[in-house]
Chains A and B, each alone.
Chain A
Amino acid sequence: MIHMNNVTKVYPNGSTGVENINLHINKGEFVFIVGSSGSGKSTLMKLLLKELDPTEGDIVINRVKTNELSRKQIPYLRRNLGVVFQDFRLLPNKTVYENVAFAMRVIEAPSRIIRRNVPAVLALVGLGKKGRSYPNQLSGGEQQRTALARAIVNNPPILICDEPTGNLDPETADGIMQLLDDINKRGTTIVMATHARDIVDAMQKRVVTLQNGHIVRDIEKGGYSDEA
C-alpha cells in the first residue's frame, strides 16, 4: 500500500529531514512512527502527503508513484489519504457538521450523500449530538474527534496522523486511540507519528523508530523502545 524506497529529504536550507528511508506498509496495518523531536517524523508524513517532494528516492502509494504525479493529479492522490494533525485545524466559523461536510463538499460529493454520511461519521466518533456546536464550544478531545471525522468521512484507504494526541490529556488521548483502533479494524491503513510512549506501549502495533532522519528500529508488534 505504501512504499518508500531510498527516500531522502534535504530542506532548501541544507538541513536533512530524513535520509535513505526504506519503509513498506501493507494494507490494513497500524504503524507508529516514533522518535525524539527533530528525528524526522513530520517530514516523513509530509512526504507521504506529497506536501514535500523527496530529494532522492521514490514513494509509491496505492500503486501510484507520487514523484511522477503532475500538480493536477495531486488532489486525487490526497483523496486516498485522510489527515489528522496535533492542532486539529478546524474552521472556527463552521459548525462541527459543516466542518466535516466541508471535506465532502470540496471533492464535489452529491448533497444527498453528504447528508447521509456526515451524521453517520459523527455518530461513529461519538459526536452524534454535537453537530451544531462550534469548535470553540468543544473540548480538545471533541475537537480532535471532529478532525478525525473529517479525515475519514470520504472513506480514504489510508489515514495519516501527526501527533493526534499531542494536545490531549491521557484519558482523552486513550479515547482517540480507541477510535483509531476501530477505524483500523474496519480496514483503514493508519500511519501515526507520536512520541507518546505509553500509547505506543499500550497498543502493541508495529513501531518504526527514527533517529536523525534514519530508521533505526522497525518492530512488528511492540512497545516504544523494545529491542527488535
Chain B
Amino acid sequence: MRPSTIKYFVREGLSGLKKNLLMTMASMVAVAACISILSFSYCVGSNLQYMLNQMEDSIGISVFLKGELTGEQIENMKTEIGKIDHVESVEYISPTDALDELKQDWGADEDIFVGLDNENNPLSHSFQISLDSIENQNGVLTALENVDGVENVRHGQTETELLLKANRIFSVASVIVMLLLGVISVMIIMNTIRISVVNRRVEINIMKYVGATDWFIRWPFIIEGIIIGLVGAVVPLLLGFPIYAKVTSAIFQYLPVIKFIQFRLTGDVFGFLIPFGVIFGIGLGVIGSVTSIRKHLRV
C-alpha cells in the first residue's frame, strides 16, 4: 500500500467519524467502559493471585504423627506422602527440632520451657509438606486421610480457601461483565459504522464505478473502527495508571492490617495492561466494523 493511500484511508476514516460524532462518542464510551472493567478486574485479580502466591510460599500442610512409630515406619510414611499428587516436598521434623524451633520463636528463657528437654519432650514427630499450588490443597488433604500413622493434620485452609474462592468468583464475574460490555461495544460500533456507510453511499457508488477494489472501499470503515477502539482503550488506561498507584499506596497507608501483603507494582501491572488493553480495544473496533461492513456494505 502506498503511504498516500494509507494517509487517504486515515483521513477518510477520521472524517467519517467526525460526521457522525454522537455515535462515535457513544462507541468510544462503550469501549472505554469495557476496557475499564478489563483493567479493574485485571488489577484486582492479578493482585489476588499475587497474594495467593506469596501465601503459598509460607503455607504448607503440617502432619503430626502418632507417638509410637519406629524410625522405619516414619521413613515409609515419608515416601508414601511424597508420592501423593501435587506434593512437592516432605520434610521430617523430629520432636527435638520442633522444640528447638519453638524455643527460638519464643525465646529459650521463657517459663513454659522449664523442665522440657530432649528427655522430656511433649511434641510429636511431624512432616512439613509443601504443595505445587495451593489450589490442590484439598486433594492432598483427602489423600492424607488414608495414610496410616497420621494423628492429625493442620493447614492454613480457611484463609487461603477464602482468597481462592474470592479470586474465582471475581474472575468469573469480571469475565461475564467484560463479555457483556464487549458485545455491547461491538453492537454500538456496528451501528456507528452502518451510519457511516449510509452517509457515504454516493461516494461508494462512484468508487465502484471508477474501479475501486472492495478492500479499498472497506478500509476507511475499518480505520474508523480502529480509531474508536484505540481512543476507547487509551483513555481509561492512561487514567488507570495513576489511579492504581494512588489506590494501592492509600490502602497500604491507611489499612495497616494488611501490611503483610504486597501489591503488584504499577509498572508491572500496566506494562501488561496497556498493550493488552489497546489490542483488545482495537480488536473490538475491528470486529464491530468488519461485521457491519459485511452486513451493510454491498460492494
Given A89-B205, A91-B202, A108-B5: A154 touches B210 (CB 8 Å cut-off): yes
**Bitwise interface map of B from 153 to 172 toward A, beta carbon under 8 Å scored 1, else 0:** 00000000000000000000
Contact residues of A between 91 and 109, Cβ < 8 Å to B: 91, 102-103, 105-108
A residues within 8 A CB of B210? 78-79, 83, 102-103, 106-107, 150, 154
A residues within 8 A CB of B202? 89, 91
Given A49-B209, A89-B202, A106-B207: A75 touches B4 (CB 8 Å cut-off): no
Q: Which of A49, A77, A89, A106 contacts B212 (CB 8 A)?
A: A106
**Bitwise interface map of B from 185 to 209 toward A, beta carbon under 8 Å scored 1, else 0:** 0000000000000000011011111
B residues within 8 A CB of A81? 211
B residues within 8 A CB of A12? none
Verify B8–A75 contact, CB threshold 8 A: no
Q: Which of A49, A75, A91 contacts B213 (CB 8 A)?
A: A75
Q: Does chain A have a CB within 8 A of B132?
A: no
Instruction: Give the residue name and chain of the A residue nearest to B210 (CB).
Output: A103
Verify A107–B211 contact, CB threshold 8 A: yes
B residues within 8 A CB of A83? 209-210
Q: Does chain B have a CB within 8 A of A71?
A: yes
**Bitwise interface map of B from 204 to 226 toward A, beta carbon under 8 Å scored 1, else 0:** 01111111111011000000000
B residues within 8 A CB of A77? 211
- Shortest CB distance A157–B (Å): 13
Instruction: Give the residue name and chain of the B residue nearest to A84 (CB).
Output: B209
Q: How many residues of A contact B (CB 8 A)?
A: 22
- Shortest CB distance B298–A (Å): 11
Verify A91–B209 contact, CB threshold 8 A: no
Instruction: Give the residue name and chain of the A residue nearest to B212 (CB).
Output: A106
Verify B211–A78 contact, CB threshold 8 A: yes
Expressed in whole angstroms, the Cα–Cα distance for A108 and B5 within the complex equals 7
Expressed in whole angstroms, the Cα–Cα distance for A106 and B2 within the complex equals 12
Instruction: Give the residue name and chain of the A residue nearest to B203 (CB).
Output: A91
Contact residues of A between 150 and 183, Cβ < 8 Å to B: 150, 154
Q: Does chain B have a CB within 8 A of A11?
A: no
Expressed in whole angstroms, the Cα–Cα distance for A53 and B2 within the complex equals 33
Expressed in whole angstroms, the Cα–Cα distance for A142 and B34 within the complex equals 51
Q: What size tier do the contact residues of chain B reach?
A: 10 to 19
Q: Does chain B have a CB within 8 A of A72?
A: yes
- Shortest CB distance B205–A (Å): 7
Given A75-B211, A108-B216: A102 touches B206 (CB 8 Å cut-off): yes
Instruction: Give the residue name and chain of the A residue nearest to B299 (CB).
Output: A71
Verify B2–A110 contact, CB threshold 8 A: yes
- Shortest CB distance B214–A (Å): 7
B residues within 8 A CB of A78? 208-211
Instruction: Give the residue name and chain of the A residue nearest to B206 (CB).
Output: A89
- Shortest CB distance A81–B (Å): 8
Verify A110–B206 contact, CB threshold 8 A: no
Contact residues of B between 56 and 83, Cβ < 8 Å to A: none
Expressed in whole angstroms, the Cα–Cα distance for A75 and B206 within the complex equals 12
Expressed in whole angstroms, the Cα–Cα distance for A81 and B4 within the complex equals 25
Contact residues of B between 24 and 67, Cβ < 8 Å to A: none
Verify B214–A71 contact, CB threshold 8 A: yes
Instruction: Give the residue name and chain of the A residue nearest to B209 (CB).
Output: A83
Expressed in whole angstroms, the Cα–Cα distance for A172 and B8 within the complex equals 35
Verify B4–A111 contact, CB threshold 8 A: yes
Verify A79–B206 contact, CB threshold 8 A: no
Contact residues of B between 204 and 254, Cβ < 8 Å to A: 205-214, 216-217
Expressed in whole angstroms, the Cα–Cα distance for A34 and B4 within the complex equals 43
Instruction: Give the residue name and chain of the B residue nearest to A105 (CB).
Output: B8
Verify B212–A107 contact, CB threshold 8 A: yes
- Shortest CB distance B219–A (Å): 11
Q: Which of A76, A91, A150 contacts B211 (CB 8 A)?
A: A76
- Shortest CB distance A224–B (Å): 28
Expressed in whole angstroms, the Cα–Cα distance for A125 and B171 within the complex equals 67
The 3 closest A-B pairs by CB, nearest first: A79-B211, A78-B211, A106-B212
Please list 29 pairs of residues, one from A and one from B, whose beta carbons are closer than 8 Å in the complex, sorted by A's number: A71-B214, A75-B208, A75-B212, A75-B214, A76-B211, A77-B211, A78-B208, A78-B209, A79-B210, A79-B211, A81-B211, A83-B209, A83-B210, A89-B205, A91-B202, A91-B206, A102-B207, A102-B210, A103-B206, A103-B210, A105-B8, A106-B210, A106-B212, A107-B210, A107-B211, A107-B212, A108-B2, A110-B4, A111-B4
Which residues of B line the A interface, CB within 8 A?
A: 1-2, 4-5, 8, 202-203, 205-214, 216-217
Which residues of A line the B interface, CB within 8 A?
A: 49, 71-72, 75-79, 81, 83, 89, 91, 102-103, 105-108, 110-111, 150, 154
Beyond A75-B212, A76-B211, 15 additional contacts (C-beta under 8 Å) are: A71-B214, A78-B210, A89-B206, A91-B206, A102-B207, A102-B210, A105-B4, A105-B8, A106-B210, A106-B211, A106-B217, A107-B212, A108-B2, A110-B4, A150-B210
